[in-house]
Chain A
Amino acid sequence: GAVVSQHPSRVICKSGTSVKIECRSLDFQATTMFWYRQFPKKSLMLMATSNEGSKATYEQGVEKDKFLINHASLTLSTLTVTSAHPEDSSFYICSAPRDRGRLDTQYFGPGTRLTVL
């Protein structure tokens, strides 16, 4: 089946540094990818929709200058948390739909746990 990978799986960084998280679709092309954030014992919150070849679409309340998204190719989207602070610590998950119109083709990455000290 289709696989979506994320790298790194876990990262610990100092406050003020920037962290880049990669999301790759391994065996299909994804013109769209989604980035979610999940707090402990909470639901997944959609942060932004990453679009290949164009700007990302951010959800209300998500700072686009804080969370930079680049969809450089049909198989890679990156999320960069700039000048990270402890409140940015969270579990970040990406997903990619093989078929734009259907939820059952959503494939989720394994997530990246970010801890900002």
Chain B
Amino acid sequence: GIQVEQSPPDLILQEGANSTLRCNFSDSVNNLQWFHQNPWGQLINLFYIPSGTKQNGRLSATTVATERYSLLYISSSQTTDSGVYFCAVAASGGSYIPTFGRGTSLIVHP
């Protein structure tokens, strides 16, 4: 099946800092999504972005499908950004069921 690798595995930031999270995948995808899992476990959709660039407030994401990676940018981080960020993908032509990466654990200190 498709492989999904996320980096870095852990990230510690001071409030106000910017960061970039990366998701590499091993095959062509037609679905890709970024999630934030809050400290209580709830998964929250951030972006559906199989290709191109999207922005939502302080967050933005870019997927370069031909090079098989996606980036999530967090600007002016806040303590509420803490949690785990997951990338989930579904391979083109295959099952639409997403495969999750191992996540990036983010801690933002005040």
Contacts and interface: CB of A to CB of B under 8 A. Distances in A.
Nearest to B88: A103
B32 A103 contact: yes
A49 B41 contact: no
Categorize the interface residue count of chain B.
20 to 34
Nearest to A32: B97
Interface in A60-108: 91, 93, 95, 97, 100-104, 106-108
Contacts of A111: 41-42
Interface in B71-110: 86, 88, 90, 96-103, 105
A115 to B, nearest CB: 14
A46 to B, nearest CB: 6
A108 to B, nearest CB: 4
B101 A43 contact: yes
Q: Which interface class (under 10, 10 to 19, 20 to 34, 35 or more) fits A?
A: 20 to 34
A93 B102 CA distance: 16
A38 B86 CA distance: 12
B48 A104 contact: yes
29 contacts: A34-B97, A41-B105, A43-B100, A43-B102, A45-B100, A46-B99, A49-B97, A91-B41, A93-B41, A95-B43, A100-B96, A101-B96, A102-B31, A102-B48, A102-B96, A103-B32, A103-B33, A103-B48, A103-B88, A103-B90, A103-B98, A104-B33, A104-B45, A104-B48, A106-B33, A106-B98, A107-B45, A108-B43, A110-B42
